Amino acid sequence: MKKTQVAVIGGGPGGYVAAFKAADLGLDVTLIDEEAHPGGVCLYRGCIPSKALLHIAKLLNEARAAEKWGVKFAAPELDLDRLRAWKDEVVAKMTGGLGQLVKARKLNHIQGRARFVAASTLYIDEADGDKSQLQFDYAILATGSRPAVPGVFRIESERIVDSTGALALTDVPGSLLVVGGGIIGMELGQVYAALGSRVSVVEMLPGLIPPADRDLVKPLLNKVAERFDEIMLNTQVTNLQEGADGLTVELKTPAGSTESKTYDKILLSVGRVPNSEDIGLEHTAISIDERNYVQVDGQMRTAESSIFAIGDLVGAALAHTASHQGALVAEIIAGHDKLVFEPNAIPNVVYTDPEIAWCGLTEEEAKKEGRAVKVARFPWAASGRATTQDTNDGVTKLLIDPDTDRILGVGITGSGAGELIAEGVLAVEMAALATDLQHSIHPHPTLSETVMEAAEVHYGLSPHLYSPTRS
């Protein structure tokens, strides 16, 4: 039987970072993953290919909008084969790079599927057909998640796709129903709208991007209202039939009535479920909750003290969160046993047009908690840089403790919000005060100075926006 100090099960952003960090700290590491190179869903079928397609969508939309700026382009011609090839080239380049880093670190990488047969032993079905067992001192579970499929959509049809199928870009349907108005649905909905599909969205909740504050979502809602055929909120799909003309859905409207509509294709984006099944947890003391998430403590340690779990498996459904957890666990195993996972600001980014990003406390959370906050907003209509880019619909806002002036949360909507939010993360984590942002010189003209100007709004001292001086 083979032995290793640290067995990492899953090669996504959490798993490979954990493996690399553990190796860098001098530990003997074995990484087990079903792919030939690390990367996981994020790199192969998620974050990276979707951003490649979103870049294309942005290019197409800007080309169409350029006429009002005095630049006119001919109608774009799409070559789906070349577009897919370019997306695949991006993925191959990055996964290949990770493969080289595996070799450089002299990691033991096993392509296969692992499951526990005891609290310290894994059984591995290797990709080449071999079977093996691996004994470990510590294990890090990073098996990720998969798209959720509600019962009504569990029919065999090539017309129903999840995010993986949508990113394969096999065709551009004439009409597309996006089920779920969350991050994945809105990102891919915008991609297909830019490529030429008539996109409709159905969301059972009253708003798009439910976790975000409504004022941050409003500019996006206004934009997609122009680009999408229909946005149906407070609406559910209650039945589904496939016919020669496409997929016919029965929709329950907010008024309680039902109506039927037919679409060429359906994109299912209603969340994800953890891959905690069929990995042998029953042979360990590891516990899962009612939603099948693995239970861990502040160090990401399971009830089996030698086994840790990170990422989607524990409900941390963001690649950067999983990576942070993976690095933390590697350090704990290496002997830094006082460390705990306790971030004050985890950034969330929606890579739509416009982008939405937030970190720390949200306004909705503050209301639910009954927590007093001051909210300072700087509209991008007053930003010179935003005006030059024709992105005046953006907003930057700060949530500030009224007693201490500490920055508790930051929200940004607009071009490049995903890049700008890093300053907000640093401000929240470092317990910065609004005056710290106010007195930090930001370059002009930039979108980053909207963060400084939001702090100036808090004090009633913004030179580009009149607001009464705070008492």
Read off the pLDDT of residues 126-160 as tens digits, 9 standing for 90 and up: 999 999 999 999 999 999 999 999 999 999 999 99
Q: Per DSSP, which regions of 149-306 are E strands?
A: 160-161, 175-179, 198-202, 230-232, 236-243, 246-252, 258-263, 265-268, 272-274
**What are the residue boundaries of the structural domains of the chain, listed by start?**
2-147+273-333, 151-270, 348-458
Q: pLDDT tens across 344-369, in order?
A: 999 999 999 999 999 999 999 999 99
What is the C-alpha separation between 322 and 333, in angstroms, rounded? 16
Mean pLDDT over 251-255 rounds to 92
Per-residue pLDDT averaged across 181-191, rounded?
Answer: 97
Quote the tokens at residue 469: 């001086």
> Residue 434 above 50 pLDDT?
yes
Q: Encoding tokens for residue 51? A: 């951003």
Q: Which residue(s) pair with 378 in the sheet?
A: 396
Calpha distance 173→199 (Å, rounded): 9
Model pLDDT, residue 471:
46
Please tell me the total number of residues recorded for the chain in this structure.
Answer: 471
Q: How far is CA 285 from CA 80, 278, 376, in A?
A: 49, 15, 48
- Res 196 pLDDT > 70: yes
Q: In sequence order, what E strands does 351-391 have?
A: 356-360, 374-379
Q: Would the pLDDT of 113 be above 80?
A: yes
Instruction: Kindly compute the dihedral angle of the four CA atoms of residues 345, 350, 354, 356, in this order, to the nearest 10 degrees.
Output: -20
Closest CA to 179 of 242, 245, 250, 243: 250
**Distance of alpha carbon 248 from the chain centroid:** 30
Superfamily designation of domain 151-270: FAD/NAD(P)-binding domain (3.50.50.60)
Rounded CA-CA distance 142/321 in Å is 12
Report the distance separating Cα 246 and Cα 244, nearest Å: 6
Fold entry, domain 348-458: Enolase-like; domain 1 (3.30.390)
pLDDT score recorded for residue 439: 97
Active-site residue among 324, 444, 458, 464?
444
Return the closest-CA partner of residue 237 out of 268, 209, 211, 208.
Answer: 268
Judged against a pLDDT cut of 50, whether residue 278 lies above it is answered with yes
- pLDDT for residue 1: 87
Interval 29-46 mean pLDDT: 94
Q: Is 172:78 a contact under the CB 8 Å cutoff?
A: yes
Alpha helix segments (H runs only) across 66-128: 80-104
- Is 444 an active-site residue? yes
Q: Just give the CATH number of 2-147+273-333.
A: 3.50.50.60
**Fold matches, 2-147+273-333 and 151-270:** yes
